Structure 1
Amino acid sequence: MRRILVPTDFSEEARNAYEVAISIARRTGAAIKLLHVVETPYYSSNFSATGDVMLGSDNMEQVFMLRLLESTKSQMNELLRSLPHDGVEVVQEVDVDRPISKIRRTIKEDNVDLVVMGSKGSSGLDEFLIGSNTEKVVRTAECPVLTVKHRIPNFNVREIVLASDFKREIGHAMSHFKNFQELFGARLHLVYINTPGAFESSSNLRQKLQYTAEKYSLQNYSINIYNDVMEEDGILHFANDIQADLIMMATHGRTGLAHLLSGSIAEDLVNHTRIPVLTVHLK
């Protein structure tokens, strides 16, 4: 792991994500980029993040944007000073753009290995109508995304839940999951949530999970069949039962109507659990 991206809106959750990223960077030697995106209406395209003004821009808009950028850069410097990161390379970037577009472009252009983002979570009508920037990144990012809600000083992982239906081709995701497990020397708990609507016999499921473990040469793992009414509830209950430090899942990355119709357990978990979630998009 060489490059970690931490998008920040200067919230408490984003600061928590930055602190976790520093812990991971100390283990891996990775460099961190702190990124804040100033989102502006379409008419502000005449202004750049460096403070340069294009022809035709409005004077009041210039003044507003200059003050906004000055305030943003001050907040960025304050965030840098707020947490010790000695021995870890941290660079900062402030840009004027649409947050999701800028994050996706940065991942590609900087060859980012991991995105660490804070998540406030959402529920009910707010979740249905607007979702969250974190959820959108989880759905579309081309690299693993670690979501963090609460402060975790000296982030360490001992117990990991890997939840899946073990039906899709998860080889691409599995390599990332194994790397994260090995990084912390953690125990990996493979779990299949058996629900009334998609019930399978325990013997068949254990064979399926054992096959997966052998196919990907997993080490230090356990195989678990957990019964619950819904998959998401089962994952959360199992994770709480074993006092998991991390949940890992693959996401299909569907968008639009397909996402609303099929849902995504990984993205729902990002919204609803207090436990950090590592997601990998299935290509």
Structure 2
Amino acid sequence: MVVSNALRRILVATDFSPGAAAAVDRAVQLARAHGAALDLLHVFDVGAWRSLKGVFDAQRLTVDPPPDVASKQRLSDLAATLAADTGVEAEAHFGVGEAAERIVAHARERGCGLVIVGARADPGWLGLGGTASKVVRLPSCPVLTVRLSAARPYERVLIAADLREGSLTAAQFALRLLPDAQHQVFYALDPALDRDLWIGGLGKEHIRLLHDSMHAYARRELEQLADGLSREARHPVLAEVVDDVRSRAIVQRAASMPADCVVVGHHGEGALAERWLGNMAQHVLHHTQRDVLVVP
């Protein structure tokens, strides 16, 4: 993925739930910071409507506008209000079909540099809702899942590093998206490696030496990454290496900082790139109470 210096268009999906409202607020904040245009997208699921319309009062349906008409008007009103109140160039877009597929297709068609979705309809719940879960698996560009209030800009960002090229791409995008935040690259050396070495027949002393060597190597690589990133950052990028299970360590470190946003790589490769989200990224998305930026 090529990281653009300019973020020109942001897509935010809304179903008008509290979680979507938090996503819209964050999208407006980032659009203003980058001078980007904002696409507000609501997707009307015809299949879901057909399955539910039987429970609606038939007489009421003859008085009230159909849901798709009401949603279009609500979306247009929201775009107009945002444009008037914030000065952001906001456009309303209405789609029909499966929500996640339409969100991803819209991002591709419109050349959006970032997609923002609410993590869940109720932002206080852990995990991801169905639409957010699908969108992060089908990224055409970085995806930000939002659960925190956008009352203030992000101040502390935790970047989960794995010492592969994708970590550099994710970190560079995070720095350019959130230049005023304090960034920390973070790597966890999984103790399971020691167990595998022990099962392989190595002695304790040999395992300890190998572990110390791997820890030192990881620290050198991470500090080198942080130093390189610091040259293009407004604040020095910090580096930390710990011994722990990666997914658990990232969630715990994000909570203890506390981080406002966690950055993870998508890790898809080849033909599976659009369907495979790494186990670590999935764990973080489902267990952290922070916003998560997934960078393909």
Counterpart position of 1:224 = 240
Counterpart position of 2:146 = 148
8 Å contact kept, 2:75–2:92: yes
Question: Residues 88 and 181 (structure 1 numbering): CA distance in 2 closer, same or farther, change over 3 Å?
Answer: closer
8 Å contact kept, 2:43–2:99: yes
Amino acid at match of 1:242: M
Counterpart position of 1:90 = 90
8 Å contact kept, 2:80–2:90: no
- For 1:36, which of 26, 38, 42 is the aligned residue? 42
Please state if 1:159 is matched with 2:156: yes
Counterpart position of 2:188 = 193
- For 1:268, which of 268, 283, 286 is the aligned residue? 283
TM superposition shift of 1:75: 3.2
Question: Residues 68 and 169 (structure 1 numbering): CA distance in 2 closer, same or farther, change over 3 Å?
Answer: closer
In structure 1, distance between residues paired with 2:161 and 2:85? 35
In structure 1, distance between residues paired with 2:288 and 2:108? 28
In structure 2, distance between residues paired with 1:26 and 1:43? 35
Counterpart position of 2:131 = 133
Counterpart position of 2:173 = 176
Question: SS at the partner of 2:116?
Answer: strand
Question: SS at the partner of 2:66?
Answer: helix
Counterpart position of 2:101 = 101
8 Å contact kept, 2:17–2:121: no
TM superposition shift of 1:195: 2.3
Amino acid at match of 1:143: C
In structure 2, distance between residues paired with 1:264 and 1:43? 34
Q: Among the aligned pairs, what percent are the same residue?
A: 27
TM superposition shift of 1:242: 1.5
Question: SS at the partner of 1:33?
Answer: strand
TM superposition shift of 1:71: 2.1
Counterpart position of 1:206 = 219
Question: Residues 231 and 171 (structure 1 numbering): CA distance in 2 closer, same or farther, change over 3 Å?
Answer: closer
Question: SS at the partner of 1:143?
Answer: coil
Counterpart position of 2:208 = none
TM superposition shift of 1:226: 2.2
Question: SS at the partner of 1:109?
Answer: helix
8 Å contact kept, 1:26–1:88: yes
Question: Residues 69 and 23 (structure 1 numbering): CA distance in 2 closer, same or farther, change over 3 Å?
Answer: same
In structure 1, distance between residues paired with 2:89 and 2:42? 17
In structure 1, distance between residues paired with 2:178 and 2:248? 24
Q: Summarize deviations over 1:76-115 as a string: whole Å, max 9, x none.
A: 2454477674211111111212222211211111110111
Larger radius of gyration: 2
Question: SS at the partner of 1:249?
Answer: strand
In structure 2, distance between residues paired with 1:267 and 1:82? 35
Which moved further from structure 2: 104-113 or 189-198?
Answer: 189-198
Counterpart position of 1:47 = none
Counterpart position of 2:251 = 236
TM superposition shift of 1:16: 0.4
8 Å contact kept, 2:10–2:115: yes
In structure 2, distance between residues paired with 1:249 and 1:105? 22
Structure 1: stretches of 5+ with no match in the other structure:
45-62
**TM-score (normalised: structure 1):** 0.77
TM superposition shift of 1:10: 1.2
